[in-house]
Amino acid sequence: IYILAIESSCDDTSAAVLHNNKRLSNVVATQKIHEEYGGVVPELASRAHQQNIVPVVHQALAKANIDKKQLSAIAFTRGPGLMGSLLVGTSFAKSLALGLNIPLIEVNHMQAHILAHFIEEENTKKPAFPFLAMTISGGHTQIVLVRDYFDMEILGQTLDDAVGEAFDKSAKILGLPYPGGPLIDKYAQLGNPKAFPFPKPKVGELDFSFSGLKTSILYFCQKKVKENPNFLVENRDDICASIQYTIIDILMSKLKKAVKQTGVKRIAIGGGVSANSGIRKALVDAEQRYGWETFIPKFEYCTDNAAMIGIVGYLKYKKKLFSNQDISAKARYVLTDSEK
Ligand code: ATP
Ligand code: FE
């Protein structure tokens, strides 16, 4: 089975070809244009998707050494995401499936961040069911109990900002360019994580809140800059290390709660923030410390990419979970509402 997958939910245009559960190609065109605005501009994102999509698909097919006539189905991100962006990928996928007269498969982006663990890779193990998935990305922060590929339950999630936003907004306060998450990670590795203690939010059970943390970082920085205008420059590494330490502490303490509540000790992370070196290290440590079995995706499958859409496409293909041509993009698309 050959699946062509299309991802266009936010600011990355991506296409991938999978042969069964193996990735043959995974091409990602990252849109640089948003950097100068300090965040994703939806209008510009859709336009860039429209420019990129045909070349990106061509590249994915060429790298996989596959002719489009060999394709078994087209999988695409239906949502959640930016409507204008989703429409580009959705319309393209529908047209191509219609033209080639092959099945069309809709995919929920958040389900894909979790199921990316099932892409066949050398030296990577796949989680057995049931497992706990913590999805930490630019738009979401969720702890999900995964009983089977398409049997998931959200146990907790953020009540306000996503963890990726917490990274990006903190970076903005420090004057770092967008997206700031990877930069905070880079500088954090040079700093002292205990230099500046930030308060942890008090939210119930398995839910998260990051907007208060962002505000306290903002007030802290403003106050310090008043005393010393060079404070942020002089203490960049220590501030980044302290922010990252606080965020990871929050994520790990929620995971511990989830393990306690469910008795499930298999933990898989997904989404852009799982590229973070601190969270990766904390999870590896947790194997020793708490006897967890942890699953960390390859970097390539952490941030937005079409290969993760392709694996869901493959899993749905096997179950003949096909979509009709009257399907439309869905900007707000809850994981548990996915067609199954
Ligand atoms: P969603 O998947 O919720 O729709 P999204 O697709 O925009 O959101 P992803 O591409 O999965 O999000 O993740 C992007 C986020 O990951 C950004 O906020 C970015 O700063 C963050 N990120 C990427 N690498 C790192 C890193 N090394 N450390 C911290 N954050 C990171
Ligand atoms: Fe994403």
Task: Please give the torsion angle defined by the CA atoms of residues 214, 333, 34 and 310, in that order, rounded to the nearest 10 degrees.
Answer: 120
Judge if the beta carbon of residue 116 lies within 6 A of ligand 1. Answer: no
pLDDT of residue 6: 98
Judge if the beta carbon of residue 271 lies within 6 A of ligand 1. Answer: yes
Mean pLDDT of 155-182: 95
pLDDT of residue 123: 87
- State the distance from the centre of ligand 1 to the C-alpha of 118, rounded, in angstroms: 20
Mean pLDDT of 127-139: 97
Residue 36 predicted with pLDDT over 80? no
Partners of 269 in beta bridges: 134
- State the distance from the centre of ligand 2 to the C-alpha of 273, rounded, in angstroms: 10
Residue nearest to atom 7 of ligand 1 (CA): 138
- Tens digits of residue pLDDT in 92-108: 999 999 999 999 999 99
Query: pLDDT exceeding 90 applies to what percent of the chain?
Result: 89
- State the distance from the centre of ligand 2 to the C-alpha of 130, rounded, in angstroms: 23
Both structure tokens of 224: 């310090």
Ligand nearest to the CA of 274: 1
- Tens digits of residue pLDDT in 77-95: 999 999 999 999 999 999 9
Judge if the beta carbon of residue 138 lies within 6 A of ligand 1. Answer: yes
Judge if the beta carbon of residue 109 lies within 6 A of ligand 1. Answer: yes
Residue nearest to atom 18 of ligand 1 (CA): 164
pLDDT of residue 336: 86
Distance, in Å, from the CA atom of 154 to the CA atom of 152, rounded to the nearest integer, reads 7
- State the distance from the centre of ligand 2 to the C-alpha of 257, rounded, in angstroms: 25
CB 158 within 8 A of CB 208: yes
Residues comprising the binding site for substrate? 135-139, 168, 181, 185, 276
Q: How confident is the model at residue 31 (pLDDT cuts 50, 70, 90)?
A: confident
Distance, in Å, from the CA atom of 319 to the CA atom of 321, rounded to the nearest integer, reads 5
Q: How confident is the model at residue 130 (pLDDT cuts 50, 70, 90)?
A: very high
Residue nearest to atom 15 of ligand 1 (CA): 138
Q: Which atom of ligand 1 is nearest to the CA of 303?
A: 10
Residue 339 predicted with pLDDT over 70? no
- Tens digits of residue pLDDT in 302-311: 999 999 999 9
- Tens digits of residue pLDDT in 291-334: 999 999 999 999 999 999 999 999 999 999 999 999 999 999 99
ipTM above 0.95, yes or no: yes
Pocket test for ligand 1, best of 167, 247, 269 (most atoms within 8 A of CB): 167
Ligand nearest to the CA of 135: 1
Question: In this structure, is the dihedral angle defined by the CA atoms of residues 316, 7, 142 and 197, taken in order, positive or negative?
Answer: positive
Average pLDDT over the chain, rounded to an integer: 95
Around 60, how many Cα atoms within 13 Å sit in the side-chain half-sphere?
Answer: 32
Q: Which atom of ligand 1 is nearest to the CA of 110?
A: 2
Contacts of 69 (CB under 8 A, 6+ apart): 100
Judge if the beta carbon of residue 297 lies within 6 A of ligand 1. Answer: no
Residue 59 predicted with pLDDT over 80? yes
Residue 231 predicted with pLDDT over 70? yes
Q: Which atom of ligand 1 is nearest to the CA of 171?
A: 20
Q: Which atom of ligand 1 is nearest to the CA of 168?
A: 20
- Tens digits of residue pLDDT in 110-128: 999 999 999 999 988 999 9
What are the backbone dihedrals phi and psi of residue 8, each rounded to the nearest 5 degrees, phi first?
-150, 35
pLDDT of residue 221: 95
DSSP state letter for 340: -
pLDDT of residue 73: 98
Question: In this structure, is the dihedral angle defined by the CA atoms of residues 212, 41, 108 and 272, taken in order, positive or negative?
Answer: negative
Residue 242 predicted with pLDDT over 80? yes
pLDDT of residue 127: 98
Residue 340 predicted with pLDDT over 60? no
Pocket test for ligand 1, best of 83, 137, 183 (most atoms within 8 A of CB): 137
CB 207 within 8 A of CB 143: no
- Which residue bears the tokens 């990602």? 28
Q: How confident is the model at residue 167 (pLDDT cuts 50, 70, 90)?
A: very high
Judge if the beta carbon of residue 275 lies within 6 A of ligand 1. Answer: yes
Sheet holding 141-148, edge to edge: 151-157, 141-148, 131-136, 266-270, 293-295
Both structure tokens of 292: 């967890």
Kindly provide the residue ranges of all beta strands, DSSP E only, lying in 243-328, ordered along the sequence. 266-270, 293-295
Both structure tokens of 249: 């502490």
- Tens digits of residue pLDDT in 205-214: 999 999 999 9
pTM of the full structure: 0.95
